[in-house]
Structure 1
Amino acid sequence: MRAVGYRTAGGPAVLEDFELPVPEPGPRDLLVRVEAVSVNPVDVKVRASADPGGTPRVLGFDAAGVVTAVGNEVSLFSPGDEVYYAGSIGRPGTDQQFHLVDERIAGRRPRSLTFAAAAALPLTTITAWETLFDRFRLGPDSTGTLLVLGAAGGVGSMIIQLARALTRLTVVGTASRPDSRQWALDLGAHEVVGHGELPEGPEGVDYVFSPFTAGQVEHFARILRPGGQIAAIDEPEGLDLLPLKTKSIGFHWEFMFTRPLFQTPDMVVQHELLDRVAELVDAGTVRSTMTTQLGPIDADHLRKAHEMVEDGHMTGKVVVAGF
């Protein structure tokens, strides 16, 4: 089968085309014929820093495709089913013609979306869902103000939509350019401010989602109400959380690969939430965040997609479709 990966860490130019054997499904695995993938910051980070020592490593996490075979313990899907999912950082990636994924972290593809539009969603959807409902423990009656840093990015775009659809929060986003501000407003943000204009004042905010935490903790401590909460997805070195203590502010890490990486007993929650979001998409409540589609899936187009993500100015998601 055709695949795209790299043999040594570096820039987008290290990506190359490979021919690899089609993998055999394990007991809980789906063998998926991949129709579309999307590129996330984690792809860029792994490619730049994780050296496979000359052995081909296939990248890619988001995918949408068709189940072609199943393991002998699979109960949630059958061959012919159309799925979307984000895979696991502990297994080979989705940038290949056929891919194995544990059935417990795959969802049924939204019927109203193309494979490409569906492939934009899984990783950011899971991250957003777990932030809101696992870390912050929000519910349909939850109120207060949520500040979403990087509101026009992949995760920010999904947090805005899910918070508006499934809570009563007031959602404030940050964005720097007119087009990204408008994108966040179109997705449902009540207000959008510049990255350097985080809200100040006695009213405060209750929740902060942060993909950019370095140098921000003291600012968060000022703007959050006592008992407020932060969820971060980045990895700033030497992070000092002491400024949060006097307001008893909670700090959470969100890493959407935790369940598949550690095979947690509740892994199937990711299947369930992807199915729920597919229902919201098909109802017209949530929309795909795909803004750019490239293709076919080969080294040339994945290099371009990596460059776009690495630039740091993406609005929404870039998808690469078709082998």
Structure 2
Amino acid sequence: MIENMKAIAYTKNAPVSEPTSQEDVTLPLPQIGARDLLVEVKAVSVNPADAKMRANVDPEGASKVLGYDAAGIVHAVGGEVTLFNVGDKVYYAGDVTRQGTNSEFHAVDERIVGTMPTSLDFAQAAALPLTSITAWEGLFDRFGLHAESTGTLLMIGGAGGVGSMVIQLAKALAPGVRVIASATRPESREWVLGLGADGTVRHGEHLREDVLKVAPEGVNYIFSTNSEGQLTAYVEILQPFGKIVAIDDPTEMDVLALKTKSLSWHWEFMFTRSMFQTPDMIEQHHLLDRVAALVDAGTVRTTLTTTLAPISAENLRAAHALVESGRTLGKVVVAAEPSVAS
């Protein structure tokens, strides 16, 4: 019987360059609740959320495990589990109120878990959950897009993990919506156009100028991953009654600027459902299954661009450094094995 497991954790805040920012540790095997799965983790990905957590959450000497994406195999199930069986391959983004996925085994509520796409290996699948959920909830729950929707959507930070999924899901499920992505470097522009974006613009000070060149009438939707200092430009380029979905943490926000055009600001935080155990928490299970079906149909592709192996403190520190550079395309994954078979 397994009692302990390997994990990667930190016990105090430290920059990614410090060995203590992520350390190899041994922890007790997680105890599972009635609706939990115990998953044998085969691959994890690193998101900006991991770096934010490491920088801002002080575990005060306890071992804090990060990781908010995983793909793996169900090892055990709780007594009230109905969606999965032992041996199933799954992918999911976890819950910030519990320990993360950077460990040999991980406990997770079945209602936020999806069946892994059959056409992907574990590393390819681990790149998808957090960004897919964020993109899906932003597009379809906050914006309210659907198959008959029209208009123009501006994706700020199109080449990142979330932007890469917003572009693909919008084009797949709201094909009448024109998608413009901000991407400044040549490789970023190539990446977003390859995902289906209809055009590109530059970030920052050039945003208003570039958007009004490609969309003189303005845009209807802005999906923002970097809102700091951009509200004035957003108001100028949005048409009346436009909508903004933001996932970042701007230091200040004067929402009165939205009033004259009757604009609306929406926050998207994909952990809300699991944090508050909302009645519709199982929607994340359903949407992950729909994303898997789109992947297996060839409509959506994995956004994996970099794989490190094995899952170790050294490789997770390296992955965090890549993500914190702000220059990665798609997603960085750390896998249990150099070549992870599906």
Question: Which whole-Å deviations, capped at 9, do the CAs of 1:175-207 have from their partners, x for residues lacking one?
Answer: 111001100000000001111234127511000
Secondary structure at the counterpart of residue 3 of structure 1 = strand
Letter in 2 for 1:238: E
Secondary structure at the counterpart of residue 69 of structure 1 = strand
2:238 to 224, 241, 255: 224
Given that residues 229 and 251 in structure 1 are in contact (C-alpha distance below 8 angstroms), is that contact kept between their aligned partners in structure 2? Answer: yes
Secondary structure at the counterpart of residue 20 of structure 1 = strand
Match of 1:285 in 2: 299
- 1:87-106 alignment, distance < 5 Å: 87-106=94-113
Given that residues 207 and 233 in structure 2 are in contact (C-alpha distance below 8 angstroms), is that contact kept between their aligned partners in structure 1? Answer: no
Larger displacement relative to structure 2 (162-171 or 6-15): 6-15
1:118 to 98, 112, 125: 125
Q: Aligned partners of 2:30 and 2:257: how far apart in 1?
A: 49
Secondary structure at the counterpart of residue 26 of structure 1 = coil
Q: Aligned partners of 1:154 and 1:2: how far apart in 2?
A: 27
Question: Superposition RMSD on alpha carbons, in Å?
Answer: 0.9
Q: Aligned partners of 1:130 and 1:10: how far apart in 2?
A: 32
1:176 to 164, 179, 184: 184
Letter in 2 for 1:249: L
Given that residues 34 and 78 in structure 2 are in contact (C-alpha distance below 8 angstroms), is that contact kept between their aligned partners in structure 1? Answer: yes
2:207 to 186, 194, 197: 197
Question: Which whole-Å deviations, capped at 9, do the CAs of 1:32-55 have from their partners, x for residues lacking one?
Answer: 000000000010011111110111
Q: Aligned partners of 2:189 and 2:156: how far apart in 1?
A: 12
Secondary structure at the counterpart of residue 272 of structure 1 = helix
- 1:1-323 alignment, distance < 5 Å: 1-12=5-16, 13=18, 14-167=21-174, 168-195=176-203, 196-198=206-208, 199-200=211-212, 202-322=216-336
Letter in 1 for 2:15: G
Alignment TM-score, normalising by the size of structure 1: 0.99
Larger displacement relative to structure 2 (95-104 or 190-199): 190-199
Given that residues 83 and 108 in structure 1 are in contact (C-alpha distance below 8 angstroms), is that contact kept between their aligned partners in structure 2? Answer: yes
Secondary structure at the counterpart of residue 135 of structure 2 = helix
Given that residues 304 and 333 in structure 2 are in contact (C-alpha distance below 8 angstroms), is that contact kept between their aligned partners in structure 1? Answer: yes
State the identity as a percent.
59
Question: Which whole-Å deviations, capped at 9, do the CAs of 1:138-191 have from their partners, x for residues lacking one?
Answer: 110000000000000000000000000000200000011100110000000000
Q: Aligned partners of 1:43 and 1:95: how far apart in 2?
A: 11
Given that residues 10 and 49 in structure 1 are in contact (C-alpha distance below 8 angstroms), is that contact kept between their aligned partners in structure 2? Answer: no
Q: Find runs of 4+ consecutive structure 1 residues off by over 2 angstroms.
A: none
Given that residues 76 and 103 in structure 1 are in contact (C-alpha distance below 8 angstroms), is that contact kept between their aligned partners in structure 2? Answer: yes
Q: Aligned partners of 2:242 and 2:100: how far apart in 1?
A: 37
Q: Please report how far the alpha carbon of residue 231 of structure 1 lies from its aligned counterpart in structure 2 after TM superposition.
A: 0.3
Q: Aligned partners of 1:202 and 1:164: how far apart in 2?
A: 21
Given that residues 144 and 170 in structure 1 are in contact (C-alpha distance below 8 angstroms), is that contact kept between their aligned partners in structure 2? Answer: yes
Q: Aligned partners of 1:40 and 1:233: how far apart in 2?
A: 13
Q: Aligned partners of 1:193 and 1:233: how far apart in 2?
A: 20
Unaligned runs of 5+ residues in structure 1 are: none
Q: Aligned partners of 2:45 and 2:255: how far apart in 1?
A: 34
Q: Aligned partners of 2:40 and 2:278: how far apart in 1?
A: 26
